[in-house]
Amino acid sequence: MKLGTVAITGAAGNIGSVVREALRREAARLILLDRAPLRPEAENEDVRTVDLSDATAVESALAGADRVLHLGGVPDEAPLRDLLEVNVLGTHHVLEAARRAGIERVVLASSNRVTGFYAAGHHTGPHEPVRPDGLYGVSKVAVEALGQLYADKFGLSVICLRIGSFEHRPTGRRHLATWLSPRDAIGYIRAALTAPPSTRFATVYAVSANTRRFWELPDPTVLAYTPIDDAELHARDIPGTDLPTDPAAPQAGPYALPEFTLKHLRR
């Protein structure tokens, strides 16, 4: 399936920058949105400085898009007010703009952190109840819920990717389970953008083929991508990887500690 015109929010971010470079060779046109100023790097790129809190600006920027990849938002733990304003309200503006414009597909960047309190010894699937490890995880639960609402109520085709630890190479013990390589990130995103229109709503974990992963890989009937990379190939370069992992410890690791969230709560 041809990509047509793809709009990418958060195009200046770590994932957005990698995906932009990959998709510019495949899309007829890229509409690149970010709060940070961008410069076009190819003839088929259209860059726009947009704040996701501005619903009118978002709707205008997405005009003419066939598909939307929504990566924009606060990427980690923060005060709940900030997460609601950017992650939740911003996602609502993107989905509402897509509804009004009749856009074929919206791919939402969710996070593995929506299930961070499951035990490391538990192989977690996308249909199990959410167990967010912090306020950021809560905001991504709301993002997924908005996607489900717009699919059920308005007929949008929405795919939520629960993104793993996106790094060029794994650098810590937790990454041996959670790593998402750039190559696999591009593969998941391409598959989500081009999944059949009959895929009304789906949630999948976007993680590399790590031997120690916590999460189920996607059912190929839901998302036709099989990851390639395995963090285990880098294990010898990471200290402590020969130590056993406590199967009862939270998958989120340090993100599950109270201290990680307490500093963002009102005193």
Q: Which residues are catalytic?
A: 136
By CB atoms closer than 10 A (0-12, 13-18, 19+), residue 244 is exposed
Torsion of CA 260, 33, 20, 179, to 10 degrees: 10
**Rounded CA separation 143/163 (Å):** 13
Q: How far apart are the first and last CA of the chain?
A: 52
Scored b (16 or more CB within 10 A) or e, 96-119 reads bbbbebebbbbbbbbbbbbbbbbe
